[in-house]
Amino acid sequence: MSRIGTTPINLPDKVEVEVGKNNYVTAKGPKGELAKSLHPDMNIDIADGQVHVARPSESKHHKSLHGLTRSLLYNLVVGVSEGYERRLELVGVGYRASVDGQNLELIVGYSHPVLIQIPSEVSVSTEQKKGENPTVILGSIDKEMIGHVTAKIRSIRPPEPYKGKGIRIVGEYIRTKAGKAGG
């Protein structure tokens, strides 16, 4: 039995979830509104401030969809009630970031600044404190979208394994190599 799939989702106050035709789920909350089309075989029930997901059979296909459907629903509920935030840290000498509207400009060791167009669903800001690395702060109600944008920014200059320079998620551990043994 799926432990994730059988766990009910508690709906916070001011969050409404509606299940439409073919499991088209709409979630409304204080942060905004999200909609997602889920697999039509899954049974989604809303009762007593909780959302329950059940699978119609014990087939391998339905077992794999059970936990996935519950996780996607949970991401919708958390997104419209609290939202998501990702912080990216620029580690390197002279690395900088600036924001102009929805355009993020990164100076990360290339001969030119890198411009990234951020989607309108994602809010972006930068933070620079003295003695610390520059930080890019992303916020959104859609977990999938914020993860995609985070990966896109990180791919511009991924952390390298010798000095750890590059763009990393705050708190990410980078395993470093020893490098050359001088003789």
Q: Do 73 and 91 fall within a single domain?
A: no
Residue 9 lies in a domain: yes
Does residue 179 belong to any structural domain of this protein? no
Task: Write out the chain in H/E/C secondary structure.
Answer: CCHHHHCCEECCCCCEEEECHHHEEEEECCCCEEEEECCCCCEEEEECCEEEEECCCCCHHHHHHHHHHHHHHHHHHHHHHCCEEEEEEEECCCCEEEEECCEEEEECCCCCCEEEECCCCCEEEEECCCCCCCEEEEEECCHHHHHHHHHHHHCCCCCCCCCCCEEEECCCCCCCCCCCCCC
What pTM did the predictor assign?
0.89
**pLDDT, position 2:** 65
- Beta pairing partners, 46: 51
Give the end of a domain, one of 47, 81, 115. Answer: 81
* Digitized pLDDT (tens) for each residue of the chain, 183 residues in all: 568 889 999 999 999 999 999 999 999 999 999 999 999 999 999 999 999 999 999 999 999 999 999 999 999 999 999 999 999 999 999 999 999 999 999 999 999 999 999 999 999 999 999 999 999 999 999 999 999 999 999 999 999 999 989 999 999 999 999 888 765
Same domain, 7 and 76: yes
Question: Would residue 183 count as lying in a domain?
Answer: no
- Residue 180 in domain: no
pLDDT value, residue 3: 84
- Same structural domain, 105 and 28: no
Q: What residue numbers bound the domain in which 164 lies?
A: 84-169
Looking at the fold, whether 54 and 98 belong to one and the same domain comes out as no
Domain boundary, last residue among 81, 109, 138: 81
* Residue showing tokens 């073919």: 22
pLDDT, position 181: 79
Tell me the CATH number at 15.
Answer: 3.90.930.12
Check whether residue 94 and residue 64 sit in a common domain.
no
Q: What pLDDT is recorded for position 19?
A: 94
Mark whether 53 and 42 lie in a shared domain.
Answer: yes
Q: What is the pLDDT of residue 29?
A: 95
Examine the domain organization and report whether 62 and 119 are in the same domain: no
- In the chain, how many domains are there? 2
Interacting residues of 20 by C-beta distance below 8 A, sequence separation 6+: 26
Task: Check residue 150 and give its pLDDT.
Answer: 97
